[in-house]
Amino acid sequence: MSLRIVLAVSSVSLVLVLSGCSKPKEGGSCTGEQGSCIDKQNALVCIGGTFAKVKCRKNAVGCMEVMGNVSCDVERDVGVPCAGDKEADCSSDGKKMLDCTDGKWALRMNCSKLCVSNVNGVRCENAEGAAGDPCTQEQFDSAVCSADKKMLLVCDGKSFFAASTCKGQNHCRAVGKMIECDTSLADIDDPCEKEGELSCDTAKKVMLKCTNKKFVKEQACKKRCNNAFQKFSCD
């Protein structure tokens, strides 16, 4: 059975200065932190010298103009305009980590559990994922389970890859801050992590060994391959 440490991974309101006597228009020029409410759920904010339309979250406040200021709890999601190039934040639904790139929010990675943004920074807490899902260099060598719990996925600094199958009784699961992958059952050519680790094939007829990141045949069993209590033997 393999164990791995999980290296884990806000709602921000814009307060803007009203843009003057005339109502601004989307695409019009602007300076600084100018802004204006279009209606209760939409606002114009100054991004890169141009007014851009943003959605305000559907809460009790929405977009509000008070004493020369505009308050808008901005809806953050992929493709939505943003200010502050290269800054990171969580999507409003807490399911994505986003980067502000070229004036729009872009997906850095999905967060199957929760995206958290606080004074310590932005991090993605993952409970599960899929091979090929993006991840960050900060998450290098961190692990998650596949949605069906039959695969251990590891971050290579750019994306998650299938590091090991978890075909044993306990499959892949989170235990506290650990990810546990039950490798007591596998099949020939299944990916594996721990060199020399033993397993039984799913038919329990062959003892397997992890060699060069894959399970290969160690020996055939005349009757049965035993894998009780992580002790492997052939009858």
Going from N- to C-terminal start, the domains of the chain cover 13-73, 88-122, 126-182, 184-235
What are residue 129's phi and psi, to 5 degrees? -165, -165
Give the domain 126-182 fold.
2.30.130
Residues in a beta bridge with 206 = 220
Q: CB 20: neighbour CB atoms within 10 A?
A: 10
- Hey, what are 152's tokens? 């251990």
Model pTM score: 0.56
**Residue matched to tokens 């939505």:** 80
* Nearest by Cα to 215 from 225, 147, 224, 145: 225
CA distance 207 to 186: 10
In Å, how far are 52, 172, 202 from 227, measured between CA atoms? 62, 17, 11
**pLDDT digit string (tens) for 114-171?**
888 877 778 777 667 889 988 878 778 888 899 899 999 998 988 999 999 999 999 9
Cα 9 off chain centre by: 8
**CATH top-level class for 184-235?**
mainly beta
**pLDDT digit string (tens) for 38-59?**
888 888 888 778 888 888 877 6
Q: Do domains 126-182 and 184-235 have the same CATH topology?
A: yes
